[in-house]
Amino acid sequence: MVKGGRGRSPRMVIIFSGRPFFPYDLSMMTLPEFCGLHLPAIEQDEVKHCLMIGLLEAARRDGSERLRVWSLGGPGACAIRSPGRAVVLGALSEVQCHALAEDLGDEASYGAVGADLTAKWFVERAEALGFAFGEPMPQHIHALSAPPRYPGAPGRARAVAAQDGPLFADWILAFNEEAVPEDRPPKRERLLARAGDGDHLFWVVDGEPVSLAGVVRRTRRTAAIAAVYTPPALRGRGYGGSVTAAAVEKIFAEGRSTACLYTDLRNPASNRCYAKVGFRPHCESWSIPRKPT
């Protein structure tokens, strides 16, 4: 069963005269029922809600009962959280974000990820309740629906193969340490098993991999690009932009019309790189992690 915050039954928040109240007991709502209520609404903007859609689809496909979900109003007004991770916010108002922070209790301390200002609203209320968080990451979600522009670097793209496992694992772990050091790193054994899954590409020069990108969180019309990594000694040569452009073409070849990705606005070099490929900002987003221990 889908579970709600602080050990109670999940609840639907209705906004009445500017104040939230919780009239419906949804303790018998299953994950498919939750998806039936909220997915059609958030799929109206797959780019903005690609992270939530991908997590929900994966949980529904795998039959996972570990994903925690909250309904906070009409279709699209929802939130989800994977074990040990920040809460992912849907199409919520400021009042709904504040109500969710109050309802989550200690779970609020894990932080929040959300488009527009939702994560900031959530954390604003959680801080008032006494919780502390790590440094906020200002982001843009970028999208591209036209043919990508390659930066002109030599080389070609090829799929990461099973025999590339050790290098693939090294680079994913290095990416996580650099980009999201507050997150629990993936297990090396799992990375070795994923190396030949067909979702990741190398950019290769003279037979040697020089950059990496992955295609993740596929939705009906969109897929996200993540884990774009070039070793520091090889940066500034167009390899990252080249492998990103190849990942966009892979997404289009699968029949999807749009590629998207997150950028950290504190890293102007990566934002310039993706702009040269053709990506344009779609919306603001914030990632606010739990306080480092």
Mean pLDDT on 78-100: 95
Whether residues 126 and 202 fall in one domain:
no
Mean pLDDT on 215-224: 95
Higher pLDDT, 62 or 245: 245
For residue 293, tell me if it sits in a domain: no
Whether residues 106 and 227 fall in one domain:
no
**Residue 82: both structure tokens together:** 């994977």
H-assigned helices in the chain: 31-42, 50-62, 94-104, 118-128, 165-179, 188-194, 239-253, 268-277
Rounded percentage of the chain residues whose pLDDT exceeds 90: 78
Q: What share of the chain is helix, strand, coil (3-state, %, to 5)?
A: 40, 30, 35
Q: What Å distances lie between residue 266 and 120, 138, 272, CA to CA?
A: 17, 7, 12
Task: Answer whether residue 16 shows pLDDT above 80.
Answer: no
Provide the pLDDT confidence category of residue 25 given band limits of 50, 70 and 90. Answer: very low
What is the model's pTM? 0.87
CATH number of the domain that 203 lies in?
Answer: 3.40.630.30
CB 34 within 8 A of CB 60: no
Whether residues 275 and 242 fall in one domain:
yes
- Which is it for strands 137-144 and 258-264: parallel, antiparallel or unpaired? antiparallel
Mean pLDDT, the chain, integer? 89
Mean pLDDT on 118-128: 97
Residues contacting 64, CB < 8 A, separation 6+: 31, 58
For residue 138, tell me if it sits in a domain: no
Mean pLDDT on 106-129: 96
Q: How far apart are CA 63 and CA 67, in angstroms?
A: 10
Whether residues 99 and 123 fall in one domain:
yes
Provide the pLDDT confidence category of residue 292 given band limits of 50, 70 and 90. Answer: confident
Whether residues 16 and 87 fall in one domain:
yes
Whether residues 191 and 89 fall in one domain:
no
For residue 289, tell me if it sits in a domain: no
For residue 292, tell me if it sits in a domain: no
Alpha carbon 283 to chain centroid distance?
Answer: 14
So what's the pLDDT on residue 65? 65
**Residue 266: both structure tokens together:** 């504190």
Among candidate residues 80, 100, 133, the one where a domain is terminated: 133
Task: Answer whether residue 167 shows pLDDT above 80.
Answer: yes
Whether residues 9 and 126 fall in one domain:
yes
Provide the pLDDT confidence category of residue 184 given band limits of 50, 70 and 90. Answer: confident
Whether residues 149 and 113 fall in one domain:
no
For residue 259, tell me if it sits in a domain: yes
CB 100 within 8 A of CB 92: yes
How many domains would you assign to the chain? 2
Whether residues 159 and 126 fall in one domain:
no
Higher pLDDT, 265 or 8: 265
CB-count exposure of residue 273 (10 Å: 0-12, 13-18, 19+): buried
Residues contacting 152, CB < 8 A, separation 6+: 238
Q: What separation, in Å, do the N-terminal and C-terminal C-alpha atoms of the chain show?
A: 31
Residue 121 has phi, psi (to 5 degrees) of: -65, -45
For residue 23, tell me if it sits in a domain: yes
Task: Answer whether residue 197 shows pLDDT above 90.
Answer: yes
For residue 152, tell me if it sits in a domain: yes
Q: Domain range for residue 85?
A: 5-133
Q: How far apart are CA 108 and CA 5, in angstroms?
A: 9
Mean pLDDT on 168-180: 94
- Which is it for strands 222-229 and 258-264: parallel, antiparallel or unpaired? parallel
Q: How far apart are CA 186 and CA 113, in angstroms?
A: 19
**Residue 30: both structure tokens together:** 């299953």
So what's the pLDDT on residue 213? 98
CB 137 within 8 A of CB 237: no
- Which is it for strands 111-115 and 87-89: parallel, antiparallel or unpaired? parallel
For residue 183, tell me if it sits in a domain: yes
CB 142 within 8 A of CB 284: no
Among candidate residues 133, 162, 195, the one where a domain is terminated: 133
- Which is it for strands 11-16 and 208-216: parallel, antiparallel or unpaired? unpaired
Mean pLDDT on 34-58: 95
